Chains A and B, each alone.
Chain A
Amino acid sequence: MRSRIQRHLWPVLGERIPVRQGGPEETIAPEVPPLELSGRDYAIFLLRLAAEIEHGLMVQYLFAAYSLDSSNLAPERRPLVRGWQETILAIAKEEMAHLVTVQNLLIALGGPLQFNREDYPNDNVLYESGFTLQPLTTSSLATYVCAESPQNWDTDQARDIKREAEIAAGGTVNRVGRLYEELVRVIGDEELVPDGTFDEDGGVFQASWDAWGRGFRRSGQHRPGPEDTDAREEHELVIATVSDRATALAALNQVGEQGEGFENPAPDDDDESHFQRLLGIYEALAGMSESEQRAVIRNVATNPTTHLDGPDVGPEPAADAAGDPPAATTSPISNSEARMWAHLFNVRYRKLLVSLAHTFELAEDRSDVNRPGPRGTLINRSFSEMYNLRSIAGVLVGLPLDDADPGGRSAGPPFQMPHTLMLAHDEDDRWRLHRDLLDASGTLIGRIAAADGSGAGQDYIRALAQADRIELAQVDLLIGGAGP
């Protein structure tokens, strides 16, 4: 784990710290705030860590959902798996909302935003073996369930699942809830975070439910009809704005309650937490025969990457004979068509992150309603890129990973992080970055279109090319006529 993170994490993990390795047993208790940090700085540190974890979880869940395929089942069984898929996608969407809420908290505390995370595989505070992009299995589900579990989950089933998760993750799977519990403790403490810390005027830069929640409110949701065998509960997105301690604590509690389970859920609680929903899928998947599991889970490569000779390239992870945890590896996408799509995926993923980050730089301003509102445009573009990521992922899971192994694993969405998410100081230069990404996308679209005019996704790629041309013209307008 990165020491710049770990050395401040002891209070979260709640462990005494050994003073020396291998010497006489001597430990010291963690302090809050950790030495080197003030209370506010510690809260910002924790929030940035929370953002990284929400981001990591979201992408893991998306990948897992994309790895499911209901079409190989008998028609009457398809809605079951399709329902899992939608449930996991809904959880990913809620993680996205959590990520946005954490940015609001950072703005309120005057901290830098955090959309960054490490590439997969990576080590982190949750799993010693790090986040992994992998097809859904009971083992991967076990790690997700444990990460989202409430503090006092300690049944026979809990012990079994924790054991399975430990083997899969190569060590203890920590609860995300611990991080939020620490955040509530720190931000709730007036001595650590004084009242004057909160920026009451930061609201114009924060994300609101009105702007980001769309129609996904629970009331008035689609009501399952008699034929809706995949009827599922709809859950509200938590996008909370923060102006003071009370709203900050409310936001943290909402996020915690929805996902990470501060407390054991009541049996009659309609609004199931992520933990409950994932546990439900775990139980259902575990109840399937092996052949049925094989039928519904695509043979998608683990940690697919465009980095052909990266340091982690290796065979599919597997526990060794001694049962030691598997070494985390990546799967280079050597099929040329799939690799072009994977590059395109990465560009669109970056475009999403840049749009998100850029949105938080712009205060709401509707002084000229006849021009595209930059903030509204960015918000809509962010959603557009989410749709694009799903579409391109759909192409990737249908393409082979390796030309030399046409019947083997398929490629998948790589979700590789860009070299930077820092935005330029000058607003025009920020828009130039959008133009750069459209240019890069255009190059890849051209290559994909030229490679095989009848291949998968050609209809889509033609439409995407036109959408990019339209956006390019708008971006040039926003740059102020500086475009070609």
Chain B
Amino acid sequence: MIHELRILPPLAIARFGSAPTPMDNYDVVVDPDNPLGYRQLRPAETLVLDGASGEITETFVADELRFTENGRVRPVAPFLEVWALVGDQQLTGGGRLEALTTTLLEAEGASVEDLHWQVQVANLKVVRRTGERDDMVVADSDEFSDHAQRPLVGRCENFLAGKTIGFGHVQFVRPTAAHPEIRLRFTPAGGFIYGSNGPPPPPPQQPPDPGDVSDIVYDASKGLWDGYRDRDNDSRRTTAPGQIYAGFGPATAHVSHGYLDDGCDGVVRVTLQQAGRTLRAVGRIGAGPPTYAPDAVPIRTVGDELEQALLGPEVQPADATFARAEEIVRRAFETIRLMNTAVANEGTWWAGDGGPFMDPSLVDVVALENLHQTLLVALRSGTAPWFADVLRDHDQAADLTNPARRKMPAMMRGADRFPLALTRRQVDLIRKLAQGPLFTDGERP
């Protein structure tokens, strides 16, 4: 018997792309023969979804990975799968998750038609600034159980009549004998910019390039977004760093051009009506820019934040493994190559003691990469990490003295204008490992 439903993954992030063919599937792996190199992209099984029929018509593993098609970026269009909790009612008590299939549905006396989806997404970037509810851009698929492509049409009270922003589309995959799983695919938008009909900025400001935008959608006579500027005294609305919207004018009075984009996030709901009861599951989707360094992972990710929120700031001793510590160091290594470390060492984007805070001879990218490669080598020996003492604690981020700025990770900016700190959980992991035996005699936990 099915006790509960789940949508897995519970959070799927799509990547913009205007090419007609979504990106092929791939895994990101550490090559065991190249442990000090960058991660390898290994093509993986890709499902080909026929938009017209809604069926998966073939699967393949690409010979090579191509991120563009005829000069356009291929979107990353994730599949969301429905899984069922069967057996016991508790996962911890003998229950297990199984992919929901037509076979499992039939066994429950249900059919594919008993499944209903609804997807609601929004772009709240503007309303976050202006505080005007009429600046919300919302798309609602309404409930559906067919297998046609459902466009996600973003509507907004402050748009010009008849104007919308396309957030992409979703499609309930039609199960087949070869692919009986219950899936929904989210294909994001192309990553376009939309403009406003407001007047150009006063001279000597240059008007925005009309080529920037794909359509004029915002009605400046209705909303405040075109011409909006952050007020320093409204800390709820300002961001750090500021000026992260297109506009003109000085930093203290940055005026918005009234641009919007087709990024969005929201929820996916699925219901199964069967034998007089309704089972529900919710998943979350979002869409953002393409990843231009797919073989690298940021040192602190949303995943780390979620893990900390779910499991707390301390790791269990059994979870403090060398593999996890290596993953953190590897991400730092991967990030360095994307940085201008000489400029970062100047620390121009933050206050503090000012000037270089590391010896300039030490911060060239090659020297820093080598140093982190050394850390990776040493961790492979099972030697307790010795760098736990130089990690920046979460509550030290605002300490801008030079000794504090030398803490690790160094020269990287966090979500605000202060230096980046690892999550408390990441720090705790490394410290727990550092408190373990100095040598593990070849038996690395």
Contact = CB atoms under 8 A, between A and B. Distances in A.
Given A222-B431, A391-B377, A369 B383 contact: no
A111 to B, nearest CB: 24
B441 A398 contact: yes
Nearest to B438: A85
B380 interface: yes
Contact of B364 (A85, A373, A463): A373
Contacts of B311: none
Interface stretch (A65-73, A245-253, A268-276, A432-440): A65-73
B186 to A, nearest CB: 39
B70 to A, nearest CB: 35
Contact of B34 (A220, A394, A466, A471): A466
B371 A221 contact: no
B383 A471 contact: no
A96 to B, nearest CB: 13
A424 to B, nearest CB: 22
Contact of A394 (B363, B376, B382, B391): B382
A182 B33 CA distance: 55
Q: Is the interface of A mostly helix, strand, loop or mixed?
A: helix
Contacts of B389: 215-216, 221-222, 234
A70 B438 CA distance: 8
Interface string A210-224: 110011110111110
Given A220-B404, A221-B389, A377-B366, A394 B374 contact: no
Contacts of B414: none
Contacts of B441: 394, 398, 456
A456 B442 contact: yes
Nearest to A385: B374
B396 A220 contact: yes
B36 A463 contact: yes
A466 B35 contact: yes
B439 A397 contact: yes
B435 A82 contact: yes
Contacts of A375: 361
A159 interface: no
A458 to B, nearest CB: 9
B388 interface: yes
Contacts of B437: 69-71, 78, 82
Contacts of B378: 387-388, 390-391, 460
A422 to B, nearest CB: 24
Contact of B403 (A208, A219, A398, A474): A219
Contacts of B375: 387
Given A70-B437, A222-B431, A369-B342, A467 B373 contact: yes
Interface string B60-95: 000000000000000000000000000000000000
Contacts of B399: 220
Interface string A329-349: 000000000000000000000
A236 B406 CA distance: 15
B46 interface: no
Given A216-B390, A456-B441, A79 B435 contact: yes
A228 B388 CA distance: 12
B358 interface: yes
A381 interface: yes
A451 to B, nearest CB: 15
B381 A462 contact: no
B396 A470 contact: no
Contacts of B362: 211, 376, 379-380
A467 B377 contact: yes
A394 B390 contact: no
A219 B359 CA distance: 18
Interface string B430-445: 0100011111111010
B360 interface: yes
Interface string B403-432: 110111000000000000000000000010
Contacts of B393: 222-223
A379 B407 CA distance: 18
A205 interface: no
A44 B408 CA distance: 38
B240 interface: no
B57 interface: no
Contact of B361 (A69, A222, A373, A466): A373
Contacts of A387: 374-375, 377-378, 383, 386
B107 interface: no
Contacts of A390: 378, 381, 383, 386
B438 A208 contact: no
A210 B359 contact: yes
A82 to B, nearest CB: 6
Interface string A188-223: 000000000000000000001011001111011111
Interface string B23-42: 00000000001111100000
Contacts of A369: 342, 364
A372 interface: yes
B445 to A, nearest CB: 11
B435 A228 contact: yes
Most buried by A among B342, B431, B435: B435
Contacts of A364: 361
Nearest to A218: B403
Most buried by B among A215, A371, A392, A460: A215
A364 B359 CA distance: 10
B367 interface: yes
B374 A384 contact: yes
Nearest to A224: B431
Interface string A451-484: 0000111011011101100110010000000000
Contact of A376 (B36, B363, B403): B363
B406 to A, nearest CB: 5
B370 A460 contact: no
Contact of B380 (A68, A397, A459): A459
B442 A215 contact: no
A391 B380 CA distance: 9
Contacts of A464: 377
28 contacts: A69-B437, A69-B438, A70-B437, A70-B438, A82-B437, A89-B386, A211-B361, A215-B389, A222-B391, A364-B361, A366-B360, A371-B364, A371-B366, A372-B366, A376-B360, A376-B367, A379-B361, A379-B362, A381-B370, A387-B378, A394-B438, A394-B439, A398-B439, A398-B442, A459-B380, A463-B35, A463-B380, A467-B36
Given A217-B403, A373-B361, 10 more contacts: A66-B439, A220-B401, A376-B363, A381-B370, A390-B383, A391-B377, A460-B382, A463-B377, A471-B370, A474-B366
The 10 closest A-B pairs by CB, nearest first: A391-B381, A215-B390, A376-B361, A394-B439, A460-B381, A384-B374, A456-B442, A211-B359, A372-B366, A210-B359
